[in-house]
Amino acid sequence: MKHSNWFEILLVVVVMTMSLYAALSDAQNLSMRWFTRDDAYYYFKVAQNISEGRGSTFDGINLTNGYHPLWLWVCIPIFALARFDLILPLRILLLVMSGLSAATAILLYRVIGKVFAPAIGAVAALYWAFSRDILARVYQQGLETGIAAFFVALFVYKLFEFEKAWRTQPVTKKQLAWLGILAVLVMFSRLDLAFLAGMAGIWVVFRKHAMRYLLPLDMVFIIVSALLALIHRVTFREYYNFSDVAVTMIALGMVVKIPAAYLLGLYQRSVISDFSALSKRIGLFGVSTSALVGALMIAITPLAHFEGFPRSAILYDLIVTIVLFSLARAGAAGLRTKPQKAVDHPSPLEQFISEWKVWLAEGGVYYGIVFGALGLYMLWNRIVFGTFSPVSGQIKRWWGSLDGNVYGGSAADVLTFFGIDYQGGGTAWHPISTLLGNWAGASGGTNEIQRYLMLLALFALASYFVLWINKHKAKNAIVQMSIIPLLCASWMQALSYHITGYSAFKEWYWVSQAIAIVFALGLIAGMLYQTVRKYRASQVFLWLVAAGVGLGMGASFWTYVQRVMPYGKTPADAPYNDIAAFLEEHTEPGSMIGITGGGNAGYFIADRTVVNMDGLINSYEYFQLLKNGEAGAYLAGIGMDYILANTYLLEQLPYNGQYAPYTEWMDIRYGGKDLVRYHPVTQP
């Protein structure tokens, strides 16, 4: 790639100019039109309180850890300015988010541009910078997604550089340490990106072995196999009664199947390239490991007091395991570019004996940093907050375990459960899944899901065919862009939310998936470009396409910014937040007000305290009281004066009317919510 800074400079100038226009618009635009998500203000208010010496607290009363740490650290110096002006930090934050967007786009441009052609990288960068969908999902919320996307892209970029370096020079501990540190930043930007940090370690440590390609896939397949087996046996409707069984079966599958696959040579290139040997070993592998896992599950079931383990799931697990492991190896064999040499290869055991010290040493450096940082973070949480992990995630898993549809409930259908839905908050692989879903639904009828799954399979096959046309370039590109660990980690992250049930998952959770989709589409576009690159006009044509994408999407983006962030359209004395203004009108200064949510109001309200009642940005102690039905008495004890909430909601799960004995009806409503008086003693 003949690198030129002109594209990057132009992109930064355009993005930041548009963002500066938005940031300097009417003050109310920032709070009412741009940063509108309640969840974002949880960060903002906690960051403000930390900067003013109140500690990690939303309400100034309860210590909380309900956030991803890295973004909060970034927010602290920004929201230290809130003591002077509540809107000034939002203006700065908009520029910070836009800077992260431009930086992420440039990283995409560099990786894809260096692997294929600068113009293809430019198209990817322009899509990222000017996509309204990316803006809404990643940046406009004001959440941790922006910094998470940046560090995921930076991580892939550094893995790209590492890939080029290790093939010509010995790997040093310093290189591994820097990758480990970057993996920690990825993980702390969103804690569920720990899956990517873990997968990247496999990718780096086993870089000279076929395990780097197949082990990440096998780990996903072990999870999917166990889940499919159980769901097929007990039905999806009953699955969550067996979620503990599923977790145990998956854990045993990892412990049993991965070593067995290694010892049986399923990671040996000589075996993978020999159809007869591969078929026999996969058959032996499937039968032996599924039988062993099944036997262990039968033995564990009475000890663990499971509701039951359906034994026929062993057979289903066997079938799915054989199919998925065979597909992975058939795909790898199909992209083989050189015939296997007829030489003796070391057995798996011999290879392990010769390599284990290197694997252990390098894995110790990388994973020592990653797990060490995670362990320190969890220990700090336990000491300061009384729990090892953010309370917000624990509460959402609790919601998912309850009967009914609490705050949306856990995954409602199989597509969402497996992370391949094409609509709603479970749409992890947008825009591909959305596009295929729209095509499937365009024909009407009752078989929309079947058509969607068929289109998904056809898309996968077509993509593989594109790779097969130029196998050598395809393999290099897949490796250089770290496609395998990125896709596998992203899928495992999506599955992790649904295996045990998780309620109120949102579209902005799927950050690594968005980056993975851009790289995957860049891979397909780049492989198609290989078929025409010999023509001189191809480069000119690509840049014309990039210019068209930039002008079209950039103009649409600019039009949107002008429409959403106008100048002189809002009176200067208009409130920044309607709920805060309503509460200031109907409550006296010094009041303590409970809200199921309350992020926006908590940040903007004056001379009053907002306490979060759903627990997402409250203390671990409050979470325990909420589960035990004692939160009502707790709020009375700390001097709660009012509650603003949907009173019907408070009678349902997860609250079950525990606040009702302390409330007095006031007949004052706002936006479907009731403002009620709260008393320190129960009311008759």
Instruction: Quote the CA–CA distance of 516 and 482 in Å, as a whole number.
Output: 9
Query: Which pLDDT score is estimated for 341?
Result: 54
Quick one: tokens of 493? Answer: 């992250």
198: nearest Cα among 220, 226, 221: 220
With a cut of 70, say whether residue 555 has pLDDT above it: yes
Query: Which pLDDT score is estimated for 251?
Result: 96
Among the ranges given (316-320, 410-414, 519-523), the one the predictor scored with the smallest mean pLDDT: 410-414
Q: Provide the mean pLDDT of the chain.
A: 94
With a cut of 50, say whether residue 124 has pLDDT above it: yes
Query: Which pLDDT score is estimated for 408?
Result: 87
Count of beta carbons in the 10 Å neighbourhood of residue 164: 11
- Burial string for 414-451 (b: 16+ CB within 10 Å, else e) reads bbbbbbbbbeeebbbbbbbbeebbeebeeeeeeeebeb
Stretch 191-211: mean pLDDT, rounded? 96
Query: Which pLDDT score is estimated for 1?
Result: 44
Assess contact for 191 and 68: CB atoms under 8 A: yes
Tell me the per-residue pLDDT of 503-549, one tens digit each, with 9 for 90 and over: 999 999 999 999 999 999 999 999 999 998 888 888 899 999 999 99
Query: Which pLDDT score is estimated for 336?
Result: 83
With a cut of 60, say whether residue 73 has pLDDT above it: yes
Query: Which pLDDT score is estimated for 671?
Result: 86
Amino acid at residue number 84: F
Amino acid at residue number 647: T
With a cut of 60, say whether residue 344 has pLDDT above it: no
Tell me the per-residue pLDDT of 623-663, one tens digit each, with 9 for 90 and over: 999 999 999 999 999 999 999 999 888 999 999 999 999 99
Tell me the per-residue pLDDT of 226-252, one tens digit each, with 9 for 90 and over: 999 999 999 998 999 999 999 999 999
Query: Which pLDDT score is estimated for 445?
Result: 61
Sign of CA dihedral 234, 240, 241, 247: positive
Tell me the per-residue pLDDT of 535-546, one tens digit each, with 9 for 90 and over: 888 889 999 999
With a cut of 80, say whether residue 3 has pLDDT above it: no
**Long-range CB contact pairs, 408-417, < 8 A, 24+:** 408/503, 408/504, 408/505, 409/503, 410/240, 410/498, 410/501, 410/502, 410/503, 411/497, 411/498, 411/501, 411/502, 413/236, 414/231, 414/236, 415/449, 415/452, 416/498, 417/227, 417/231, 417/236, 417/239, 417/498
Instruction: Quote the CA–CA distance of 116 and 577 in Å, as a whole number.
Output: 48
Instruction: Quote the CA–CA distance of 65 and 73 in Å, as a whole number.
Output: 12
Query: Which pLDDT score is estimated for 342?
Result: 44
Tell me the per-residue pLDDT of 567-578, one tens digit each, with 9 for 90 and over: 999 998 999 999
Query: Which pLDDT score is estimated for 446?
Result: 65
Amino acid at residue number 348: P
Asked whether the bond before 431 is cis by omega within 30 degrees of 0, the reply is yes
> Domain boundaries in the chain?
1-34+65-143+536-574, 211-345, 400-531, 578-678
Tell me the per-residue pLDDT of 360-375, one tens digit each, with 9 for 90 and over: 999 999 999 999 999 9
